[in-house]
Structure 1
């Protein structure tokens, strides 16, 4: 039998995660849902007219979908987090998102595609970009007098994780991000890329060596009362296998796209795979929604609108609270749980040394 792509990275941790899940039958009480989009309206060397049309599709249709969706148990609509690329900075494009951010149905965080950078050049780019978002568009947030941000790495190359070092260049990028004010990374899962981490279906703190690549392969699981256990929080999306309607199983990565639209069955699978901390489920989905084909799928009648209904129905069947969240709100919920009460040290989430070689 042919194994799925890069199974050597994720299959053993996935099976271990499934065993732990089966042994832990504690009912969940709360479901957090965040939509984290690698939102690239200028991607593919788009013209200004194309980029403008891509933005307009979202500003025209997304607020209607959000306000038409079933509210969560606090009465709030869903929030879409646009991880907007640093290298695509255009003031008019970001200004067009400001009304959605002000209304609470949108949020903006940091995304970047870069290559051949050093820690110094990467720092310069991120610091300058964060100041643009904060002071020119009233986006991002401040904590203790410094700008903080969520992060998704372009091309999945977080922490210089391609074996040949392409599409990043910064060993120790996890440490750099933490020092710059990143409150959490939302890049994983990255399959079918070789950059996929060895920790799956967990919210965890990265603890790998700060001077090596792919340091997110080691970490400490976030637990209730466990506190901060590493330099940077990683919020991973659901990763596993799904079977229904297929002769051969298919990878489930929490991506919503024209070639993999949401379905009621996928919603059930997401809730089974998504990371849990105590009695809370953290479902982080992702997409590339600016592209025309994906935008039509997500903003159309068979996309996000029914997905929100299915999620509401799934939560109601389980008798659990539903919370629509931005990326920031999801990470904040994790922080509240991990700081909730003192407990024993959190368990190490790792892979055997014999299989850890990069």
Structure 2
């Protein structure tokens, strides 16, 4: 009996060590917690959103390298996305979360032109460290105005006239969520983001970083406690018939254990919806994203799939702009767009938020109808639509 107990303790200790090596002790309990089975009537609508930590200055590149990165995206992504369509006839929508500290007008002019042609939208990304409230307010408000006024990006709230934006935090450290306090510095960041016009955060999942929340595979509202960090660790789920609460909506991407890909053939890898050369978007991964079942409570027939990448890193560009992502889109369109069991919708971050808000308001049917439900398209989208209409009329 003593020997058996010793083996059990040893095994448990080994498992705990493995969990801590990848910070899995933070989120594994919520991941394993039983959830009510989802019962959807009719086809399941898959809302697919690809968000990008788009950093042309990655690793302190020179200007020629920056330009080459942006130019390749503007050339190759147009070609790739142009070959694919969802159930609504729209190409994949790429959400370019551009870093405030890497602003260069010529790069954003090019990306904005591609977005105006119908291939995505621009949002805000930020890397900062030991920041102050005054500096954060100044730089974020300035950048939001610049994106809207100089590049036709970011929507304007039709009721308040405020420029609105989605947000991704650099180094995953939303609301000062590292134990050592690095890469942020603001315990009231959720409050500041709300006041400055942020409509939702798209940072998560952050695993295996310690910045990962204990809440996984959810869409929820988080209330900021300015006396402590990582207030978004938990929150109130967005539900049909509910209402906005707290300070900021958190829209998470899938986080799971991938038992089909194991380290040393034993330990499952973390599926954190990150796309790069070392983790290409295989059919098994696509299935896992949909299976995660992220939805607004009470609307299980709308599944929200948000994946992410760092698009300007050369080692990963062949994956993101080449055959691996080509195959991903083909699989999505074949497996999840038959019109009977599944209907596929490519959405931007803004459109995903709008559809979440429509579900919260109790609306149903085809989520395509609610792409612009709460926030209208940015100015560049209106201009692009007018130009495309004029070209079609002239043809």
TM-score (norm 1): 0.91
Confirm or deny: 8 A CA contact 1:208 1:217 kept in the other structure.
Answer: no
Displacement, 1:25?
A: 4.1
SS of 2:92's partner is coil
Partner of 1:87: 101
Question: Aligned in 2, Cα 1:284/1:275: closer, same or farther, shift over 3 Å?
Answer: same
Count of residues in Structure 1 that have an aligned counterpart in Structure 2: 336
1:1-358 aligned within 5 A: 1-2=14-15, 3-4=18-19, 5-16=22-33, 19-20=34-35, 23-26=37-40, 29-69=44-84, 71-143=85-157, 144-246=160-262, 247=265, 248-277=267-296, 278=299, 279-302=301-324, 304-316=325-337, 319-340=341-362
Cα displacement string for residues 37-73 of structure 1 (whole angstroms, at most 9, x for unaligned residues): 001011110100110110111011001111101x112
SS of 1:36's partner is strand
Confirm or deny: 8 A CA contact 2:126 2:169 kept in the other structure.
Answer: yes
Question: Aligned in 2, Cα 1:274/1:287: closer, same or farther, shift over 3 Å?
Answer: farther
Counterparts of 1:297 and 1:238 in 2: how far apart (Å)? 20
Counterparts of 1:233 and 1:251 in 2: how far apart (Å)? 24
Counterparts of 1:225 and 1:264 in 2: how far apart (Å)? 35
Confirm or deny: 8 A CA contact 1:97 1:106 kept in the other structure.
Answer: no
Counterparts of 2:142 and 2:38 in 1: how far apart (Å)? 45
Confirm or deny: 8 A CA contact 2:87 2:337 kept in the other structure.
Answer: no
SS of 2:323's partner is coil
Counterparts of 1:96 and 1:29 in 2: how far apart (Å)? 36
Cα displacement string for residues 255-293 of structure 1 (whole angstroms, at most 9, x for unaligned residues): 110110010111111101141221210000000011111
SS of 2:209's partner is coil
Instruction: Please list every run of at least 4 consecutive aligned residues from structure 1 whose deviation after the TM superposition is greater than 6 angstroms.
Output: none
Q: Which runs of 5+ in 2 are unaligned?
A: 1-13, 364-395
SS of 1:96's partner is helix
SS of 1:62's partner is helix
Confirm or deny: 8 A CA contact 1:63 1:105 kept in the other structure.
Answer: yes
Counterparts of 2:190 and 2:218 in 1: how far apart (Å)? 17
SS of 2:228's partner is coil
Counterparts of 2:194 and 2:228 in 1: how far apart (Å)? 15
Q: What is the alpha-carbon root mean square deviation over aligned residues?
A: 1.4
TM-score (norm 2): 0.82
Counterparts of 2:241 and 2:274 in 1: how far apart (Å)? 31
Counterparts of 1:217 and 1:271 in 2: how far apart (Å)? 23
Confirm or deny: 8 A CA contact 2:190 2:224 kept in the other structure.
Answer: no
**Range 78-87 or range 203-212, more displaced:** 203-212
